Amino acid sequence: MSSSKKVITKEEWEKKLADVKIRKEDMNKLVMNFLVTEGYVEAAEKFQMESGTQPDIDLGTITDRMAVRKAVQCGNVEDAIEKVNDLNPEILDTNPQLFFHLQQQRLIELIRSGSVEEALQFAQEELAPRGEENHAFLEELERTVALLAFEDTASCPVGELLDVSQRQKTASELNAAILTSQSHEKDPKLPSLLKMLIWAQNQLDEKASYPRINDLVNATLEDPVT
Amino acid sequence: MPASAAWARPEELVESLSSLDNTARLKALRDVKNQIIGNKTKKLSYIKLGAVPRVVEILASDTEVPLLVQSAAAVGSFACGIEAGVKAVLDSGVLPHLLKMLSNGDNKVVEACARSLKMIFQSTLAPKSDMFQGHRMELIIELLNSENDSVAEVAASVLARCCETVDHQRALADAGGLQSLVGLLNGSLKTREAALDALAALTRGNKQLCSTLTCMDQGKSLAMIMKLVKDKSSRTRLLACTCLANIGKASPSSLHQEREIRAGMLSILVKLFDEPGQVGEEAPGVLADLVSNNEDLQKVAMDMNSIEKLAEFLRKDEISPKQLAGVLMALAELCSRFEDSRKQLLDLKVQAPIIAALEHDSVGVRAAACSCIKSLSRSVQNLRTGLTDELLVLPLLKLLSDSSSDIQALALSAVSNIVLDFKPHKAVVFRCGGVSQLIQLSQSMDPILRLNAVWALKNLLYMSDKTVKERVMGELTFNSLVDLIFDSEEKVREQAMALVRNLVYGDVDSVQLALVQDSVLLHAVEKQLHVSTQPEICIQGLYIVSNVAAGNEVHKEAVMDIVIPVTSVGVNRNTSLLMRYLQDMSNPQIRVVALWCVINLTFPNSPGVSSRISRLRDGGIEAQLQSMVDDPCLDVKDRAKTALEHFSAVEVHSR
């Protein structure tokens, strides 16, 4: 069956690839977009100086955004909330899910610090009303409060809430919301280009055998399967 | 560290909002703001504690930038998401202060105040007309040109929300709003979307502004909006489609050459149905606007399977009123002209949710459901098969006494359709007291309601039996009907005449109705035939006398006295009504119906036919008929021949 597929050799492939022209400016813009979106402000500044590429957003706003993100990553959620409210009060006022996740993160931090009583009071006063407004929130709240039931959180089935990854998740959600409020796309463009590459390869697989890229990081062209 | 500092008790915090110490006041303000953002419960409890007037007081009398910024932000948050909050800030008289602060020298203050305004104006409670007082509008339009992108965005979204009437639209355009908004289309995503939103509000149902926008900058502005139809952001796509749908609806020819573009917009809109949130909610309504009055696009939409997709929404358990209204409106438009669409929709078996929507709380949904039923009921086929349920008639009749006159008018149109030519529905309308309602509405002060009610009664009487006619006339009374024949509105007069036509059509009993009460109806019709200059009314009048002339001898003689009277000097050859209408060259239909009248009057073998024929001859009618054998209209020719045969039959007979 495989014989029906067209085989394209590495040489032919490379020759075809060499014919495709990509402008340097476009490459630079992609890099800048990545740096800005991900918040690497110093790298973006240096890159701007060296390549002359204009960032698609005021670099000053990145600093504010990163300060908010960092606060969440350090577990300082209340500080992050105050900062984001100073940036633009609309963000949390019009995004109930994000607001809930920040409050949930606050609860997690209280539990982490062992302030059981404070945690319970906070859950009751701040989070319970949100749970009444939205059933999905209530379930998440119940899951979070379950952390209190275990002496040893390592054995707790919802122990992953205490992981650093949970802080990262919350921080990313907040980061994305700030970017959206600044009319900026919340995801960098590079990952979607890579997704497109994988999709295109999958489509092509059905029709031809060609030097595929399996290792995205090194972009090595594999030998075509015959 | 703020993170660990416990907040003071709410009562104390509210107290501190009026502290004489600036630092304490600022701290309290920030604390309140940070507590209420995103938190409805807290907003309500601080409103109860009287925090709002104190916050507004800071905005009114303080001068320090941080205090102003924080108080404006707090006001905005109170107004965000809860009506009680909007009411509280408005009751505290915040509006003039916010507007005044828009001219503040500090950019942060301006931005914060503009955002607050935006929050207030997202609510239906916002005092929209107030924005058109004094120089407020100019102030907001000035902000459209602000260096600060988010200020421009906020200004555009306030404009989008407060532009509701034609006067608003004009005031905004006169102040230069259109040009400034178009300028924002090059801005950041949010600014562009706010500008499109405002442009959509400005162009809705406004022919003049639509054409201004179309011609602006040699069509470049329009081209820019057309490009945005394919934008990456779904909201931009929707709003650009909305603007273009407005333009297309206002002047169908302006986008004529861009048929492809409009068809493309359709497929974009259909895809937007699946978007979550506001975009998916609004997309069906925009589609309705786009295909309205455009058969070509309605066909394209059908080919895209949009009826099935729209019907899918009706099966959902939860659907917002806005979306439901949009879906029903879109279905109403798509089923307004094409039998295929109606059949397709009925085959999808969604009648129950459409009928249920007739009783929805939202006026918009009720109106849209009514339009949908109206479209569906346009075909007799559907009435027989798909819409026979009595469950339909009851809620529809209920809408005849709806609080909104727009809905009453729509319901009347739908009732008009369902009572035409379908006996079971006529009976249900009677049983449920619908006739009394129709008669009441035919006496309404609102000319549209009067017109639609007379229309419905006319349809009800179409091909109806004696009992229906007697009951309607018993309640309506002959005198009221005569009043309607002489109504101040031309359209009402026409429909009233058409009603009489249906009334006197049929057996001798029906014809007799024209002669009861001293022939009051016939006299009214006679008068209209003499004075009216409207061909439509004359045609109806001629049909009436023609119908009456089909009755017995008494009826025929009564018609003779109208159309060709004998005066003291005999029959006048040139001034009889019959002659006048047989010679009317403005409209062949008039001549055709006048000929029918002659045919009915001269029907062979009726006792008085020879005396009628001799009178008609004396009046010069036979000569006129002979000249009509060469009429340019085929129908006229044929009828004239038939009439002449009647004349010659009597000749032969008398010899």
Q: Is B540 an 8 Å CB contact of chain A?
A: no
- Write down the CATH number for the domain with range B564-655: 1.25.10.10
Distance to chain A for B188, nearest Cα, Å: 6
B176 CB neighbour count, 10 Å cutoff: 15
pLDDT per residue as tens digits for the range B187-223: 888 899 999 999 999 999 898 998 899 888 888 888 8
Looking at domain B1-127, which of 3.40.50.970, 3.30.1330.60, 3.30.479.30, 1.25.10.10 is its CATH number? Answer: 1.25.10.10
- Give the CA dihedral B276, B281, B285, B286, nearest 10 degrees: -40
Question: Which residues from A are below 8 Å from B188, CB to CB?
Answer: 182-183
Residue B230 clears pLDDT 60, i.e. is over it: yes
Can you say whether the dihedral through the CA atoms of A24, A25, A29, A31 is positive or negative?
positive
- What is the rounded average pLDDT for all residues in chain B? 88
| Local structure of residue B269 (DSSP, 8 states) | H
Contact B188 A92 (CB under 8 A): no
pLDDT for B596: 94
Average of per-residue pLDDT across B374-384: 76
Of the spans A147-156, B415-424, B557-566, which averages the highest pLDDT? B557-566
Alpha-carbon torsion (B81, B87, B91, B97), positive or negative: positive
Within 8 A by CB and 6+ apart from A123, the residues are A107, A141, A144, A145
Closest alpha carbon within chain A to B150? A182
Separation between Cα atoms, residue B308 and residue B347, nearest integer Å: 10
Cα distance between residue B541 and residue B497, in whole Å: 6
Average pLDDT over every residue of B229-241: 93
- Quote the CA–CA distance of B616 and B631 in Å, as a whole number: 20
CB contact under 8 A, B39 and A126: yes
- Name the amino acid, one letter, at B16: S
Give B-chain residues touching A92 at CB under 8 angstroms. Answer: 37-38
Distance from CA of A129 to the nearest CA of B (A): 7
Residues 6 or more apart whose CB falls under 8 angstroms from that of B255 comprise B244, B247, B248, B261, B262
Q: What is the pLDDT of residue B391?
A: 77
Determine, for residues B73 and A89 on separate chains, whether the beta-carbon distance falls below 8 Å: yes
Task: Please name the member of A82, A129, A182 whose beta carbon is closest to the beta carbon of B41.
Answer: A129
pLDDT on residue B655 = 42
pLDDT at B88: 95
Q: What is the DSSP string of B215-230?
A: HGGGGHHHHHHHHHTT
Nearest residue in chain B measured CA to CA from A95: B38
Tokens standing for A215? Answer: 């290792």
Element (H, E) at A209: strand A208-209
Q: What number is the average pLDDT over the span B158-184?
A: 90
- Could you say which of A89, A126, A184 has the minimum Cβ distance to residue B37? A89
> Could you state, in order of their start, the residue ranges of all structural domains in chain B?
1-127, 388-476, 481-563, 564-655
Say if B233 is an interface residue toward chain A (CB within 8 Å): no
Token reading at B612? 């009628």
Q: Which residues contact A225 (CB under 8 A, 6 or more apart)?
A: A2, A209
Cβ-Cβ contacts under 8 Å, B115 against chain A: 88-90
Exposed e or buried b for every residue in B535-574, given b needs 16+ CB within 10 A?
A: ebbbbbbbbbbbbbbbbeeebbebbbebbbbeeeeebeee
Which amino acid belongs to residue B457? L
Beta bridge partners of B434: none
Mean per-residue pLDDT for B545-552?
92
Q: Is B33 in CB contact (< 8 Å) with chain A? A: yes
pLDDT at res. B521: 92
Whether the CB-CB separation of A36 and A55 falls below 8 Å is answered with: yes
Residue B384 is predicted with a pLDDT of 64
List the single best residue of A58, A85, A125 to mutate versus B (max B Cβ within 10 A): A85
Hey, are the CB atoms on A133 and B40 less than 8 Å from each other? yes
Contact call for residues B282 and B241 (beta carbons, < 8 A): no
pLDDT tens digits along B480-525: 999 999 999 999 999 999 999 999 998 888 888 888 888 889 999 9
User: Tell me, what's the pLDDT at B454?
Assistant: 96
List, for residues B571-603, the tens digit of each pLDDT value: 767 678 888 999 999 889 999 999 999 999 998
Cα angle A218, A224, A226 (rounded to 5 degrees) comes to 155
Return the SS3 of A195: helix
- The predicted pLDDT at position A1 comes to 47
Most confident range (mean pLDDT) of B44-58, B283-297, B415-429 is B44-58
Q: Where are the domains of chain A?
A: 58-183
For domain B388-476, give the fold: Leucine-rich Repeat Variant (1.25.10)
Helix, strand or coil for residue B566? strand
Same fold, B1-127 and B481-563: yes
**pLDDT (0 to 100) of residue B486:** 93
Do residues B311 and B354 lie in contact, with contact meaning Cβ atoms separated by under 8 Å? no
Distance from CA of B80 to the nearest CA of A (A): 7
- Is residue B389's pLDDT more than 70? no
List the beta bridge partners of residue A6. A208
Residues 90-119 of B with CB under 8 A from A: 115, 119
State the amino acid at position B180 in one-letter form.
S
Spans in chain A with pLDDT lower than 70 = 1-3, 153
Which tokens is B648 given? 């010659």
Rg (CA), chain A: 24
Percent of chain B predicted with pLDDT > 90: 52
Q: Are B31 and B13 in contact (CB under 8 A)?
A: yes
Return d(Cα A41, Cα A48) in angstroms, integer. 10
Beta-carbon contacts of residue B385 (< 8 Å; ≥ 6 apart): B346
Q: Which CATH class is domain B481-563?
A: mainly alpha
Q: What is the mean pLDDT of residues B173-178?
A: 89
A94 contact residues in B (CB cutoff 8 A): 80-81
Query: Is pLDDT above 70 for B476?
Result: yes
The full DSSP string for B411-470 is HHHHHHHHHTT-HHHHHHHHHTTHHHHHHHHTT-SSHHHHHHHHHHHHHHHTT--HHHHH
Q: What is the pLDDT of residues A111-164, one digit of tens each?
A: 998 888 999 999 998 899 998 888 889 999 999 988 888 777 677 778 888 888
- Are B172 and B141 in contact by the 8 Å Cβ rule? The answer is yes
Q: Interior CA angle at B345 toward B339 and B350, to 5°?
A: 150
- Encode pLDDT of B308-357 as tens digits: 999 999 998 888 899 999 999 999 999 999 888 988 888 888 888 999 99
With a cut of 90, say whether residue B257 has pLDDT above it. no
Q: Strand, helix or coil at A71?
A: helix
Q: Does residue B652 carry a pLDDT above 60?
A: no
